Amino acid sequence: MGEFLSHATFDADAAGWLDRAADRPRGSYHRALGEAGVSVGVATPFVVAILGPTATGKSTLGVALAERLGGEVVSCDSTAVYRGFDIGTDKMPMDDRRGILHHLIDVVDPTEQYTAARYAREAAGAIQQITNAKKTPILVGGTGLYYRALTRGLFPGPGRDDAFRARLSRSARRHGVVWLHRMVARVDPASARRIQPADERRLIRALEVFFLTKRSLTDHFAETRSPLREYRVVSFALRLPSSDIARRVTRRVDEQFAGGLLDEIRRLREGGVPLDAVPFRGLVYRQAVEHLQGIRDLASTRELIVRENRRYARRQLIWFRKEPNLDWVDLPGEHPDALTVVLQRLTDRL
């Protein structure tokens, strides 16, 4: 594994605060911060975000942080919102959540469309609910668009143009979805970098917005307002060497298949979930369904999922590098020093 991030030794006051905070009941974090000499006024509520590429240990660190700070987790994952899709989305098992309440997981049926705009509204509502309960909101996930929608806002956008969408869908069937991706790259390179080449729905939306408004999604995003305007968002992002990501992704894919990924897909299909359901079109499930359809053998399917996950991790890293004010932590989330580093830097930033 790459070299771990070094950090300074706490002074006596900060160390004493951490010891006291660990022993306090949940919800008393603001008082503990005050004792550490950090001013956090009632008029300035805050959110702590744990972000980064896939397989970096975000969920583990998020739970540990919520335990320490008396908080609740708000998921920032576009796949975790769908009920029934558990193994391929790598949802944290209930036992591993250690009693920490998680929001925005299993909130919609797989046939529903769940947009970034809806996520921003519902996540902001969950964060307000957590704050009202005098707890600390911990935002955890790797979906960059959801994070941006929540912290920087999304523009309302033009309504659907079904005729235009139908024409683009026909073109995708004729030329392949990659043709749509090339079109987006011409008119909105930033959106092309963040949207997966096989994500027909989001590619069509990017083109629809451009041709209806004569401006790109990226340009519209630059002029939006966050639903968390009254909050201070203190964001940390995990970053690991690509060799570590490759090893961790391979292990995760092995665990997904050993944990019953194919049986989960069979149960979903037997339960009436259609193959055109949104999560079936996503990473892991799309390739696994193709295996069940006889398109490729199991070994090739597993190798393909690993490759696609590594590509996805690179895209996530590129996305988050462009987000302002992220504090990078070069450790896996489960490493004991990761929590220590985040708590130290949190006191510095608050």
Q: Which domains does the chain have, with CATH numbers?
A: 12-80+96-154+232-349 (3.40.50.300), 162-221 (1.10.20.140)
Record the tokens describing residue 63, joined without a space. 């739970």
pLDDT in tens, the chain (350 residues): 333 233 333 233 333 433 443 344 444 445 545 443 344 544 589 999 999 999 999 999 999 999 999 999 999 999 999 999 999 999 999 999 999 999 999 999 999 999 998 999 999 999 999 999 999 999 999 999 999 999 988 776 788 888 999 999 999 999 999 999 999 999 999 999 989 898 999 999 999 999 999 999 888 877 777 889 899 999 999 999 999 999 999 999 999 999 999 999 999 999 999 999 999 999 999 999 999 999 999 999 999 999 999 999 999 999 999 999 999 999 999 999 999 999 999 999 88
The predicted pLDDT at position 34 comes to 47
Closest by CA position to 330, among listed 266, 241, 214? 241
The predicted pLDDT at position 307 comes to 98
What phi, psi does 283 have (nearest 5°)?
A: -60, 145
Structural element, H or E, at residue 108: none
What SS3 class is residue 138?
A: strand
User: In the sheet where 232-238 sits, what is the strand order?
Assistant: 102-103, 71-75, 136-140, 46-51, 232-238, 326-329
Give the helix, strand, coil percentages of the chain, each rounded to 5.
55, 10, 40
Residue type, 243: S
The predicted pLDDT at position 160 comes to 83
The predicted pLDDT at position 12 comes to 34
* Rounded Cα gap, residues 24 and 275, in angstroms: 49
Closest by CA position to 1, among listed 350, 324, 233, 335? 335
Record the tokens describing residue 17, joined without a space. 């605060």
Record the tokens describing residue 157, joined without a space. 């956008």
The predicted pLDDT at position 320 comes to 96
Closest by CA position to 284, among listed 314, 261, 311? 261
* Rounded Cα gap, residues 193 and 203, in angstroms: 11
Record the tokens describing residue 288, joined without a space. 């696994």
